[in-house]
Amino acid sequence: MTIENISCNKSFGGWHKQYKHQSRVLDCEMRFAIYLPPQAAEKPVPVLYWLSGLTCTDENFMQKAGAQRMAAELGMAIVAPDTSPRGDGVPDDADKAYDLGLGAGFYLNATRAPWNRHYHMFDYVVDELPALIEAHFPVTGQRAISGHSMGGHGALVIGLSHPHRYSSISAFSPIANPMACPWGEKAFAAYLGENREHWRQYDACELLKLAVSEVPILIDQGDADTFLEQQLRPQQLVEIAGHKGYPLDFRLQPGYDHSYYFIASFIEQHLTFHSLYF
């Protein structure tokens, strides 16, 4: 697996770098960003995988969240992949809608044409990308996962599906119950077909009901988020965790919305949370 560096910037004693590579899983060229803290020059460091939301790329989080200072202090690498396959041969929504197709991979493995050739973001994040990172960079096998909105959905689903691979999970404003919201219903029907039984493996609420192994979860949600009631729906996830006694810390933050102003306000607390379990 070869990678090509396309940018490099020093930050808080470490390095923010962007790379591109040919993805076997997605059958297209992909880009990712990595922040390597200063400690990585001396020894391997653990990794937080960050999954961004609808319309985003690897750049949104790395440029807007302000995570590098705390990552440098804690000695933690951060890896941010793109949010979908890209390229001229990759299908997009016919109407160019923001919530389907390019920029909207939903971190699942599509089974329905034309999406099933390229849209395998679940396997990319779980298997191909970590193998690439661990082959090319000074990192350990310790991993945590986090994300925002669609990426919060991805972090929850991937972390709950593979509890042995991640020491902790966190999310900002996640799509917590995609089987019961317009964003999720649209994407799942397109990528997976109309059989809702096939959707359950990508719904955090359904996975939490079946969870046996416990991975600590931290969720922050703004109460002024305009997507809260219709699209995000965290209440059921919180209720399931309560019934199971699952270690989920849900914090409803007064006055905060869905933006990166919200993420930047609490990202350092999330990095500190993950560092406790490395």
List the pLDDT tens digit at each of the 278 positions of the chain: 799 999 999 999 999 999 999 999 999 999 999 999 999 999 999 999 999 999 999 999 999 999 999 999 999 999 999 999 999 999 999 999 999 999 999 999 999 999 999 999 999 999 999 999 999 999 999 999 999 999 999 999 999 999 999 999 999 999 999 999 999 999 999 999 999 999 999 999 999 999 999 999 999 999 999 999 999 999 999 999 999 999 999 999 999 999 999 999 999 999 999 999 99
Could you tell me if 108 and 192 are in contact, meaning their C-beta atoms sit under 8 angstroms apart?
Answer: yes
DSSP three-state, residue 132: helix
Indicate which residue of 23, 52, 149, 167 is catalytic. 149
pTM of the model: 0.97
Instruction: Please list the residues that pair with 36 across neighbouring strands.
Output: 15
Choose, from 258, 270, 274, 275, the residue flagged as catalytic.
258
Strand partners, 146: 50, 170
- With CA atoms as reference, report the closest residue to 125 among 147, 140, 101, 149: 147
Point out the catalytic residue in the list 168, 170, 225, 274: 225
Does the annotation mark 99 as catalytic?
no
Active-site annotation holds for 164: no
Q: CA nearest 107: which of 202, 212, 227, 3?
A: 202
Closest to 71 in 3D by CA, of 8, 12, 145, 137:
12
Is residue 225 flagged as an active site residue?
yes
